Chains A and B, each alone.
Chain A
Amino acid sequence: EAGVTQFPSHSVIEKGQTVTLRCDPISGHDNLYWYRRVMGKEIKFLLHFVKESKQDESGMPNNRFLAERTGGTYSTLKVQPAELEDSGVYFCASSRFLGEVEQYFGPGTRLTVT
């Protein structure tokens, strides 16, 4: 089966612009997670969808970040307006059901804000 895919692989934007990241989870996986690694630090949780509902968004840094998962399939993460400190790698992960231990990660999107 195809793995988790993310688009784009790399995005370079200027401060103040808007960027939308996309994640396609493994088919049939109800759970979708967003994480990010900023400035080579630890990977931090952003939010968790169960199907189209936000289960936990406690890691979202501020209201410049908006995540959606319409229809419970792919998800988008929009940053508007982007700031320099948003630069980093954004990872998406999915799992089939809520009790599953393992999460399957995508390749990540490297975001550079200049």
Chain B
Amino acid sequence: GNSVTQMEGPVTLSEEAFLTINCTYTATGYPSLFWYVQYPGEGLQLLLKATKADDKGSNKGFEATYRKETTSFHLEKGSVQVSDSAVYFCALSPNYGQNFVFGPGTRLSVLP
């Protein structure tokens, strides 16, 4: 079946540190891949997405590249800010319009 694995954390970093949150997936076919973020007290927000192999999604300084050969979609940011503190979810959609499969979420805390 389809599944997503990601580092569960919590991850604690100092401001301006480099961030990597690993995400790997198992899926048949060619899924679309997503990173969602949940800030404290808020709902899920789409952070970035990639719909085919070698695509790079980017937003707000975050990046992730769809690597089919390693079935990975690792999230990176060169310099994190306190405002990036949130829970990050990696997710896949097996086919267009089908339900998402989520990873367990990674809680990130950025200290000033």
Please give the residue numbers on chain A whose beta carbons come within 8 Å of chain B beta carbons, in ascending order: 4, 6, 31, 33, 35, 37, 40-45, 48, 56, 59, 91, 93, 95, 97-108
Write the nearest CB–CB distance from B51 to chain A, whole angstroms: 6
Given A42-B102, A45-B99, decide whether A101 and B44 contact each other with a Cβ distance below 8 A.
no
Interface CB pairs A-B, < 8 A, 25:
A4-B43, A33-B100, A35-B99, A35-B100, A35-B102, A41-B104, A42-B102, A42-B103, A43-B44, A43-B89, A43-B102, A45-B100, A91-B43, A91-B44, A93-B44, A97-B97, A98-B97, A101-B32, A102-B34, A103-B93, A103-B100, A105-B45, A106-B43, A107-B42, A107-B43
| Residues of chain B lying within 8 A (CB to CB) of residue A103 | 93, 100
B57 to chain A, nearest CB (A): 11
A42 close to B105 (CB less than 8 A): yes
Known: A42-B104, A101-B49, A102-B46. A56 touches B36 (CB 8 A): no
CB-CB under 8 A from A31, the residues of chain B are 97
- Roughly how many angstroms separate A31 CA and B42 CA in the complex, as a whole number? 22
Contact with A along B75-112 (1 / 0, CB 8 A): 00000000000000101010011111111110000000
Once the chains are docked, how many angstroms separate the CA of A40 from the CA of B69? 30
How many inter-chain residue pairs (CB < 8 Å) link A and B?
A: 66
Q: Which residues of A contact B36 (CB under 8 A)?
A: 105
Given contacts A97-B97, A108-B44, 13 further A-B contacts (CB under 8 A): A6-B43, A41-B104, A42-B4, A42-B89, A42-B102, A42-B103, A44-B102, A45-B99, A45-B100, A59-B99, A91-B44, A101-B32, A103-B93
User: Chain B's nearest CB lies how many Å from the CB of A44?
Assistant: 7
B-side contacts of A44, CB under 8 Å: 102
CB contact under 8 A between A100 and B99, given known A42-B104, A91-B43, A105-B36: no
How long is the Cα–Cα vector from A93 to B100 in the complex, in angstroms?
Answer: 10
